[in-house]
Amino acid sequence: MVEAAAAFLAAIGRTTLNFFAVAGRLTTFAGRSIAASVRPPFYPRLIAAQMVQIGYFSLPVVGLTALFTGMVLALQIFLGSARFNAESAVASIVVIGITRELGPVIAGLMVAGRVGAAIAAEIGTMRVTEQIDALETLSTDPFRYLVAPRLLAAAVTLPVLVLIGDLVGVFGAYLVGVYKLGFSPATYIQNTMDFLETIDVVSGLVKASVFGFLIALMGCYHGYYSRGGAQGVGAATTLAVVSASILLLSADYVMTELFFVQ
């Protein structure tokens, strides 16, 4: 009985120590990454290449998900608001919902799946094939050469992606509103513009930038510390997507409180 209790306590202790070890390592990694992102040398060619990878090649997936999200949102809000005769609020609720929440969150989750995994796999493969060691022996800091360009590119391009996603999502809702639900085009657009405030869009773009940073950070972190060949790289990829998604949603709550709750 005593032994079982001791083993239970030991397991709790181990888990707690592991948690703090990982938290400490992640904090240190984030600190080194941020320092590498703001101090020269910078690698504009690599940053541009990553912006294309992260931003341009994510456009189809972000655009399609935003389009269908806007369409579904318009339909659901119309059906829900019909219960208390508030159908006219569809346009305003859709635009606020998309710009404040759904645009950045859906784009963030899509990019986490597509880009976070790719970053972890690429850097993880470089780790297990000693390419990162080779970088260091060539007097090149892997944080500046590998991590910083990805962090900067993701933090800059995700707001652009989200802005495009917002427009596509609102357009999807407009299509459903006008052609399916019978709203007049002019009224729908008027309602959209009347209730949209600058803070709605700005808060979404700030969230997107933070999400981009978190997605790239998790991809780089799990890739950088991957071990054990192909299996280790696979595990790093999964962990990058899962941890980025969880961090993204929790950061979303915190930022929503900061922006909108007095």
Partner 1 sequence: MNRLPKSPDLSREAGTPKIRLRGLCKGFGPKRVLDGVDLDVAQGESVVVIGGSGTGKSVLLKCIIGLMRPDAGSVEVDGVEVSGLRGAALDDVRRKFGMLFQGAALFDSLPVWENVAFGLIEGRGMARTEARESALRDLARVGLDEDVAGLSPAELSGGMKKRVGLARAIATKPEILFFDEPTTGLDPIMSDVINDLIVKCTRELGATAVSITHDMASARKIADRVAMLHGGRIVWQGPVADIDRSGSDFVEQFIHGRANGPIHVEAAAR
Q: What radius of gyration, in Å, describes the C-alpha atoms of the chain?
A: 22
Instruction: For residue 129, state whether it binds partner 1 (rule: CB under 8 A).
Output: yes
Instruction: For residue 44, state whether it binds partner 1 (rule: CB under 8 A).
Output: no
The one among 64, 140, 160, 181 contacting partner 1 by CB under 8 A: 140
Instruction: For residue 42, state whether it binds partner 1 (rule: CB under 8 A).
Output: no
Instruction: For residue 29, state whether it binds partner 1 (rule: CB under 8 A).
Output: no
Instruction: For residue 38, state whether it binds partner 1 (rule: CB under 8 A).
Output: no
Backbone phi, psi, residue 139, to 5° = 60, 35
Among 165, 160, 155, which Cα is nearest to 98's?
Answer: 165
Instruction: For residue 92, state whether it binds partner 1 (rule: CB under 8 A).
Output: no
Instruction: For residue 230, state whether it binds partner 1 (rule: CB under 8 A).
Output: no
3-state helix, strand, coil in the chain (%, to 5): 90, 0, 10
Among 116, 143, 53, which Cα is nearest to 247's?
Answer: 116
Contact between 115 and 58 under an 8 Å Cβ cutoff? The reply is yes
The one among 51, 66, 120, 126 contacting partner 1 by CB under 8 A: 126
Instruction: For residue 257, state whether it binds partner 1 (rule: CB under 8 A).
Output: no
> Which tokens in the block code for residue 243?
């941890």
Q: Which is nearer to partner 1, 122 or 166 (CB)?
A: 122
The one among 1, 5, 38, 138 contacting partner 1 by CB under 8 A: 138
Instruction: For residue 190, state whether it binds partner 1 (rule: CB under 8 A).
Output: no
Q: Which is nearer to partner 1, 101 or 141 (CB)?
A: 141
Q: How far apart are CA 221 and CA 242, in angstroms?
A: 13
Contact between 207 and 159 under an 8 Å Cβ cutoff? The reply is no
Q: How far apart are CA 256 and CA 203, in angstroms?
A: 8
Site string for partner 1, 150-189 (x = CB under 8 A): ----------------------------------------
Instruction: For residue 85, state whether it binds partner 1 (rule: CB under 8 A).
Output: no
Among 245, 235, 239, which Cα is nearest to 125's?
Answer: 235
The one among 14, 60, 133, 179 contacting partner 1 by CB under 8 A: 133
Contact between 151 and 213 under an 8 Å Cβ cutoff? The reply is yes
Instruction: For residue 134, state whether it binds partner 1 (rule: CB under 8 A).
Output: yes
Binding site for partner 1 (CB under 8 A): 125-126, 129-131, 133-141, 145
